[in-house]
Chains A and B, each alone.
Chain A
């Protein structure tokens, strides 16, 4: 049963990845670049959903992880002369460390208190970036285009901002995120995380050290979010405080809820729908957030489990 589930869902993910790979050849330039952006943001949402959808922990501080990956990448390239790969590794290690330390504090709380603690930690990083503006360039942010150099593939040099490079890097990251999370969710560890989401007290009394599993989920989610941030810095070569703001912590929550928390493909769908929704409505009215808000409320009424969550409940039971 389990194995069938895994094979089905890996097939489905494979299909989605294949479609995304193929449509890059027919997408008009504008949508091509939108898709690149969506795929990076979606991988951030997938990281977020790992914590919310599968472990049941709602965070309002994920921008902290995203921004620490992003700033580590940017600042280490800018000041230390790191190559992008070194920056990525450094960013990953740093976000991993931050996630563990943060988890050790934040996971002493749960529910609403956890929400508040994550929010406060997130704001702390945001304010720290502003405070040390001589070093971080504060609100203006900075660009690393001139420091990046080129990427050599088959002896040919490419810029990181090259649309094809950008699209396929984003796609590779998305694919890796989708596959890794699917495998973990359908493994025995995933079963324990879902159990914690469903009934934490009972999980503890089945003999599991719930705290360490929650710490694992938070660390994994935080680190993936950090890598998304680092890749965002690399592919769009802009680093700024908008990615550390509370707004950027709420976004993955909304994408996940719209697409379906606790489904692997939901965050991708939610991110894409929301991105195009905002894109479309902001072309009509400057008050686009109001319209987006109304659409969100209606979605929650009609699709309380998100788009994929509702699909799973009604039709496709095996969907992970």
Chain B
């Protein structure tokens, strides 16, 4: 795969009253590597991906996705364009079955790819739903109410919903938060599988996860990018060491 920059931000800024959460950030994503953003709490990681996914609008600056300025597009438009965000705190339809949860995502992406004006038939949807659930290891849970799943499975369901949206850029916001060690290992394997076909942007606190997955790391602090590089470069960066060890 040729290395192509497909998303970049240009002096992206987001202010909340007097607080600048993201400040003049020039950030770029390439299609040939798993990219992770790390940084202490309040560094602006989540705000940055919220800006990219369209959940928040920038105060100034722009976001260029595949050559097009998407800064003012609605979040729904961006999902349609392939930027899919997976929530830090799981956000699923708790009262609906797992089937319905994934079907909601499937029916939109299918309708878009098949360019159908009318809705896609239910049997085609059912087929894709069971594939999506299978890919995250939730086969057979179709009829279970999503809210009754164990937390780790809810996270997986959320990933299944995101994958079913046919993403080109999948943003995973702290996917391992609240998971047990065994579940984390499963998830790492799953993410490695996903990255074969989808670009992944990872936000993560767990350094072990970052260093086992990421091929490129951006370190944020106080709303700005502090350092960027390969995992080993970051590990040996004195500033980053100071930031994390508090020297």
The docked-state distance in angstroms from the alpha carbon of A194 to that of B97 is 12
Query: Which residues from B are CB-within-8-Å of A210?
Result: 76
Whether B79 lies near A205 (C-beta < 8 A) is: yes
The reply to whether B76 and A1 form a contact with Cβ atoms under 8 Å apart is no
Closest to B81 in A: A207
Q: Are A207 and B109 in contact (CB under 8 A)?
A: yes
Q: A2-B122, A188-B107, A191-B107 known; A209 and B74 CB under 8 Å?
A: yes
Check: B148 CB closer than 8 A to any chain A CB.
Answer: no
Contact of B99 with A1 in the complex, beta carbons under 8 Å: yes
Residues in A whose Cβ lies below 8 Å from that of B122: 2-3, 188
Q: Is B92 an interface residue (CB 8 A)?
A: yes
Task: Report how many residues on chain A are interfacial, defined by Cβ distance under 8 Å.
Answer: 22
Contact B76 A209 (CB under 8 A): yes
Contacts of B95 in A (CB 8 A): 198
The yes or no answer to B143 lying at the interface (CB within 8 A) is yes
A205–B87 CA distance with the chains assembled, in angstroms: 10
Considering the chains assembled together, what is the distance between the CA atoms of A192 and B87 in angstroms?
19
Contact B94 A198 (CB under 8 A): yes
Closest to A317 in B: B143
Please determine whether A205 and B53 come into contact, CB atoms closer than 8 angstroms: yes
Q: Which residues of B contact A194 (CB under 8 A)?
A: 96, 100
Min distance, Cβ B75 to any Cβ of chain A, angstroms: 6
Q: Are B104 and A205 in contact (CB under 8 A)?
A: no
Note all chain B residues with C-beta closer than 8 A to A204. 74-76
Q: Which residues of A contact B80 (CB under 8 A)?
A: 207
* Contact A202–B92 (Cβ < 8 Å): yes
Complex CA gap A193/B53 in Å reads: 23
CB distance from A27 to the nearest CB of B (A): 39
Determine the chain B residues whose CB is within 8 A of the CB of A209 once the complex forms.
74, 76
A188 to B111, CA, bound (A): 11
CB of A187 within 8 A of CB of B104, answer no
Chain B 99-137 near chain A by CB (<8 Å), digits 1 or 0:
110011101110010000001101001100000000000
Tell me the complex Cα distance, A199–B147, Å.
13
Chain A residue contacts of B165, Cβ below 8 A: 206-207
Evaluate contact between A202 and B76: CB separation under 8 angstroms. no
Is A195 among interface residues, defined by CB-CB distance under 8 A?
yes
For A206, the closest partner residue in chain B by CB is B105
Q: Say yes or no for B216: interface residue by CB 8 A criterion.
A: no
CA gap between A143 and B142 in the complex, in Å: 56
Let me know if A299 is at the binding interface, CB within 8 A: no
* A206:B91 contact, CB within 8 angstroms: no
Contact mask for chain A residues 197-230; partner B; CB cutoff 8 A; 1 contact, 0 none: 0110111111111100000000000000000000
The answer to whether B91 touches A201, judged by C-beta atoms less than 8 angstroms apart, is: yes
User: Are B96 and A207 touching (Cβ within 8 A)?
Assistant: no
Q: Which residues on B sit within 8 Å (CB–CB) of A3?
A: 122
A189 at the interface (CB under 8 A from B): yes
User: Are A192 and B104 in contact (CB-based, < 8 A)?
Assistant: yes
A207-B92 contact in complex given A1-B143, A3-B122, A188-B107, C-beta closer than 8 Å: no
Partner of B85 from the list A1, A188, A203, A205 (CB cut-off 8 Å) is: A205
> Is the C-beta of B93 less than 8 angstroms from some C-beta in chain A?
yes
| Chain A minimum-CB-distance residue to B112 | A207
Complex CA–CA separation, A204 to B73 (angstroms)? 13
**CB of B113, distance to nearest CB on chain A (Å):** 12
Q: Closest CB-CB distance, B205 to chain A, in whole Å?
A: 22
Binary per-residue interface labels of chain A (175-199) against chain B in the complex, 1 for a CB within 8 Å, 0 otherwise: 0000000000001110110110011
Cα distance A3–B123 in the bound complex, in angstroms: 10
User: Are B55 and A205 in contact, with the CB atoms below 8 A?
Assistant: yes
Q: A189-B119, A207-B76 are in contact. Are A202 and B108 (CB under 8 A)?
A: no
Task: List 17 contacting pairs A-B, 8 Å CB cutoff, sorted by A.
Answer: A1-B126, A188-B119, A191-B103, A194-B96, A199-B93, A199-B94, A201-B91, A205-B75, A205-B84, A205-B87, A206-B104, A206-B105, A207-B80, A207-B108, A208-B108, A209-B74, A210-B76
Further pairs besides A1-B126, A207-B109: 9, Cβ < 8 Å: A3-B122, A191-B103, A194-B96, A198-B95, A199-B94, A202-B87, A205-B53, A205-B76, A205-B79
Closest 3 CB pairs of A and B: A207-B79, A188-B119, A198-B93
